[in-house]
Amino acid sequence: MYKTRAAALVLVLAFSVTLFAVGRREGASDRPSGEHDIFISVISKGFQHEFWQTVRRGTLEAAQELGIRVTFEGPATEAMVDVQVTMMRNAIVRRSSAILLAALDADAMVPLVEEAVAQGIPVATFDSGVNSDLPVTVVETDNRAGGALAADRLARLISGQGTVGLIVHDRTSRSGVDRRDGFLERMRTAYPQIVVLEPVYGGGFHDQSAELAVTMVRRHPDLAGMFAANEGSAVGAALGLQEAGAVDRVALVGFDASAQQIQLLRAELIDGFVVQNPFNMGYLGIRALYDHLEGRAIPRRIDTGAVYVDRSNIDRPDIRALLGLPPARS
C-alpha cells in the first residue's frame, strides 16, 4: 500500500534539536526594558519540545513590540503537575501583572487561577486551558477539530478500513483530552469499518512513545495506522515503527511540527501531521493580556488555527512560513 520508506535512524537524529540549549528548564527570565510597568508571567507545560521554544519566541516578540516585561518558564517534563502548581503560585506571590498559562492538568490548576483572579491578576490560557470560566481568554487551536482532521487524513491513508492505534501525550490536559476525543468521535461516526484500539499514553516522551508503538505493532499484526497526538508522541511513534520494521505497512499521522518531525516526514517515516501555530499562541496571548490590562475588550477565545502538512504541500510558501522554514530555492 505504501511505497518503501528508507531512512537511517542516524540521519533522523542528526536533525534533532537540542531544546534545552535555547531556554532554561525552570525560572527562565526574559525581560526587555520598556516604558510600561507591565510584567506578564508565562507558564508553559514544559521546555523539552521545540513547540514550547517557538511559543517563547512569540511571547518575546510581542513583549518587545509593546515595551513590557515577560518571564517564560515550564517544568522539566510535562508530567510535573506539582512543579507547575508551584510556578503558578510563585507568579501570584511576585505580583505579576497578568499570567499566561498552558495547564498540564485542567482541574489541578483551577484553584490557582481562582487565587490569582481573587488577587486582581488576570489569567489567560494557551494551548491547554482549565475547567473554569475565569480566564479572560483562551488562545489555542481547536484541538477537537484537529483530532478530527487527523482522523480524516489517517482514514484516507488506509482507505477507510482496518485497525488503528492512538498514542496520546497525557489524559489530563485539555489538548490531550480534546485531540483524543476529537479523533475518536470522528472515527466512530464517519468510519465504521475502522477499528480503533484503546488509547495509550506516553507522556510526550520519545522513548516511551516508541516503546508503545513497538508493543502495539507486535500485539496487533493487522495494525494499519496510528495517530500520535503531539510532537513527542509522533517522533517516538515514528522511531518505534522503524524499530518494529513496520514503516511500510503502518500509516502514521502526527500532531505539531518540529525540525525532527519535518525530517521524519521527508524520510517517509511519518505520512503527515496536523500543525498548530505555536508562535501565534505566544504572540497573541501576550497581546491579548496587554489589551485587557489597558482596558480594551478582547475575545473570549482566540483560535490560532491548524492545517494538515504532508509531502504534497510542505514546500508551499505558506506552509514553509508556518513551519519556520526559509523560502524554497527557485
Per-residue model confidence as pLDDT tens digits over 197-217: 999 999 999 999 999 999 999
190 and 315 both lie in a single domain: yes
CB 97 within 8 A of CB 318: no
Asked if the structure places residue 3 within a domain, the reply is: no
**What's the mean pLDDT in 255-259?**
91
| Cβ atoms within 10 Å of 185's Cβ, excluding its own | 14
CATH of the domain at 233: 3.40.50.2300
pLDDT at 21: 26
- Which residues, 6 or more positions from 106, have their beta carbon under 8 angstroms from its beta carbon? 128, 129, 130, 131, 172, 173, 174, 177
193 and 73 both lie in a single domain: no
pLDDT at 330: 61
Of 7-21, 70-84, 90-104, minimum mean pLDDT range: 7-21
pLDDT tens track for 215-239: 999 999 999 999 999 999 999 999 9
pLDDT at 50: 80
This prediction's pTM: 0.76
- Which residues, 6 or more positions from 327, have their beta carbon under 8 angstroms from its beta carbon? 317, 320
115 and 167 both lie in a single domain: no
79 secondary structure, DSSP code: T
What is the number of alpha carbons within 13 Å of residue 105 lying toward its C-beta? 15
Asked if the structure places residue 328 within a domain, the reply is: no
Give which of 324, 304, 270, 321 is closest to 137, Cα–Cα: 304
171 secondary structure, DSSP code: S
Asked if the structure places residue 24 within a domain, the reply is: no
- For the chain, the distance separating the N- and C-terminal CA atoms, rounded to the nearest angstrom, is 33
83 and 107 both lie in a single domain: yes
Asked if the structure places residue 247 within a domain, the reply is: yes
Interhelix angle 231-243/206-219, rounded to 10 degrees, is: 50
Question: Which structural domain range is residue 255 located in?
Answer: 9-16+143-275+309-322
169 and 316 both lie in a single domain: yes
58 and 159 both lie in a single domain: no
293 and 251 both lie in a single domain: no
117 and 225 both lie in a single domain: no
State which H helix or E strand residue 273 sits in.
Answer: strand 272-275
98 and 108 both lie in a single domain: yes
CA distance 16 to 12: 7
Edge-to-edge strand ranges of the sheet holding 39-43? 29-30, 69-73, 39-43, 98-101, 123-126, 138-140, 301-303
Report residue 36's pLDDT band, with 50, 70 and 90 as the boundaries. Answer: low
CA distance 240 to 208: 9
Statement: residue 33 has pLDDT above 50: no
**What's the mean pLDDT in 66-84?**
95
Interhelix angle 278-293/50-66, rounded to 10 degrees, is: 40
Asked if the structure places residue 23 within a domain, the reply is: no
Asked if the structure places residue 2 within a domain, the reply is: no
57 and 130 both lie in a single domain: yes
Asked if the structure places residue 330 within a domain, the reply is: no
55 and 72 both lie in a single domain: yes
Taking all residues of the chain, what is their mean pLDDT, rounded to a whole number?
A: 89
198 and 98 both lie in a single domain: no
Asked if the structure places residue 22 within a domain, the reply is: no
Give which of 110, 114, 123, 105 is closest to 174, Cα–Cα: 105
CA distance 259 to 251: 20
**What's the mean pLDDT in 79-85?**
95
Number of separate domains in the chain: 2
